[in-house]
Structure 1
Amino acid sequence: MTESSKAPGLPGLAGKRVLVTGGSRGIGRATVRCLAASGASVGVAYHRAEAEARRAVEEARSLAPDGRHWCAGADLADPAECRTLFERADAEFGGLDGFVGNAGIWNVDARPIESLEADEWRRMIETNLTSIYAGTREAALRLRANGRIVLVSSTASQRGEAEHSHYAASKGAINAFCKSIATELGPRSINVNAVAPGWVDTDMSAPALQGDAGRAALTLIPLGRVATAEDIAGPICFLLSDAARHITGEILNVNGGSVLCG
């Protein structure tokens, strides 16, 4: 699987300062490119993939040489490390206009409830949900009027996912969290939305899209193809832009029609 270098820009993002978690690969990295192409300055947060994060920063610099682009590592499930990351953003940016909560994991191996161990459940919830809480909290402390928060959910949050209940639970909670925080922060003119992707051609999902499993997945997508990372990055950047200034508390489904719940 190769990631496209195409990065169409969006209006209303020039000069914005945005922190993207999980920005070293997949959807996060495509979002970094889209933001940079739109003239934004981007902070790229990663957990372990430092080399990939540095390449994402190089891509951003090639697209927006005048921007302030940087990367930093953090375990976002640890609120203290998350706070340190945002303090880095304070130092680099001198303010924050947007936050993209994208960091997350998914395990290709099936985990029926009878064999789903407590430590697996805990790791999934901490990585996919606690990190969203911690990042959103830090963002809310910093964002001013016209600030934007975009969280990355999943179609699994809406249709469930047999033998991946811990993943579906973590993403379903993100939807509820998004709507709650949108209501809280709306009076401060801060918009909070989520994007719920279906199958996306990334490193994380590639093993599940091979062979018969991949062909079966395609039959469930009316548009007849798996999304690229750019297909998800565009809607994320739209929600960060001025074009979405009157949208908040929404779950934007980007799934090729596989889950028609809008």
Structure 2
Amino acid sequence: MISLQGKVALVTGGSRGIGAACVRLLSSAGARVAIAYRTRDAEAERLAAEVTARGGEVLLYKGELTTADANARFVQAALDRFGHIDIFVGNAGVWPPDPLPIEAVPAERWRQTMATNVDGMYFGAQAVIPHLPAGGRMIFISSTAGQRGEAGHADYAASKGAMISFVKSLAVELGPRDITVNSVAPGWVDTEAVAIPFADEGRARIEANIPLRRVAAPEDIAGPVLFLASPLARHVTGEILNVNGGSVLCG
């Protein structure tokens, strides 16, 4: 039912986890996809080969998207390859797994979290927005932590709270140009990033506190991203779409 034929999507942090699931689903709907990733060439190349084998078209771009120049280079690489851009999925992010009280959070960790999660979002938006047409879509992956806070992870929660405010601001700013800006806010997702809290009995304890009694798969996040990227969501903007199994109910 959802077709993105003729569309070009950019996905940051697209080589694994939620990003890779978004790449697969957007490509399956017909979009050509530019994938930005930071490390792990083998994973990125396997994903590209998988998508290409199914008849899709992808561009791989390796880089640390925390500066204006780096984001501009990624956007230009996509334009050089595909000629235009319709969809931007800002997924690249970090979640420091070790919980620390705020007085123990090293300045280095704070700066790295903000550089990746906030600076990357800001510079990515600045680079891509001039090239988005009417009907363009921007989707950012935030978190339940940005809505309710997260003890021991104040740096991460603050970065995702900034993203939520950024999304709402851009939605109002870009609405007159018929560009929608939304966010998908996952709770726990079964990715490599959560190996530490899931260890031993951690996963069982987490699932016991989720009304649906399960942790999301990356594909559970990619589905709402596809919806927000599609014509079905043409009148949805400034929204934070919660995908958390009912664990956080925001009014």
Q: Classify the TM-score, shorter chain.
A: over 0.9
Q: Structure 1 segments of 4 or more deviating over 3 A? A: none
Aligned match of 1:38: 29
Distance (Å, rounded) in 1 between the aligned partners of 2:28 and 2:227: 13
Aligned match of 2:113: 124
Structure 1 window deviating more from structure 2 (117-126 vs 23-32): it is 117-126
- Alpha-carbon distance, 1:68 to partner: 2.9
Could you give the per-residue CA deviations for residues 147-189 of structure 1, whole angstroms, max 9, x where no partner exists? 0000000010111110110000000100000000111110000
Q: TM-score, normalised by structure 1?
A: 0.93
Distance (Å, rounded) in 1 between the aligned partners of 2:46 and 2:128: 25
Q: Is the 8 A contact 1:68 1:93 kept in 2?
A: no
Aligned match of 1:115: 104
Could you give the per-residue CA deviations for residues 170-209 of structure 1, whole angstroms, max 9, x where no partner exists? 0010000000011111000000000000000001112211
Unpaired segments ≥5 residues, structure 1 = 1-9
Aligned match of 1:4: none
Distance (Å, rounded) in 1 between the aligned partners of 2:57 and 2:212: 37
Report 1:44-123 matches (<5 A): 44-63=35-54, 65=55, 67-123=56-112
Q: Please tell me the residue identity of whatever aligns with 2:14.
A: G
Q: Please tell me the residue identity of whatever aligns with 1:172.
A: G
Distance (Å, rounded) in 2 between the aligned partners of 1:199 and 1:96: 30
Aligned match of 1:24: 15
Q: Is the 8 A contact 1:42 1:70 kept in 2?
A: yes
Unpaired segments ≥5 residues, structure 2 = none
1:204 to 186, 193, 197: 193
Q: Is the 8 A contact 1:154 1:195 kept in 2?
A: yes
Distance (Å, rounded) in 2 between the aligned partners of 1:240 and 1:195: 11
Q: Is the 8 A contact 1:23 1:56 kept in 2?
A: no
Aligned match of 2:225: 236
1:162 to 151, 164, 167: 151
Between the two proteins, what is the percent identity of the paired residues?
50
Q: TM-score, normalised by structure 2?
A: 0.97
Distance (Å, rounded) in 2 between the aligned partners of 1:34 and 1:167: 27
Distance (Å, rounded) in 2 between the aligned partners of 1:248 and 1:188: 12
1:177 to 166, 169, 189: 166
Distance (Å, rounded) in 2 between the aligned partners of 1:45 and 1:223: 33
- The DSSP-based 3-state class of the residue aligned with 2:24 is helix
Distance (Å, rounded) in 2 between the aligned partners of 1:156 and 1:62: 37
Distance (Å, rounded) in 2 between the aligned partners of 1:116 and 1:206: 21
- The DSSP-based 3-state class of the residue aligned with 2:115 is helix
Could you give the per-residue CA deviations for residues 90-122 of structure 1, whole angstroms, max 9, x where no partner exists? 101100000000000111111211111111111
Distance (Å, rounded) in 2 between the aligned partners of 1:206 and 1:34: 24
What number of residue pairs does the alignment pair up?
251
Q: Is the 8 A contact 2:2 2:29 kept in 1?
A: yes
Q: Is the 8 A contact 2:51 2:57 kept in 1?
A: no
Q: Is the 8 A contact 1:68 1:92 kept in 2?
A: no
Distance (Å, rounded) in 1 between the aligned partners of 2:154 and 2:236: 30
Structure 1 window deviating more from structure 2 (47-56 vs 161-170): it is 47-56
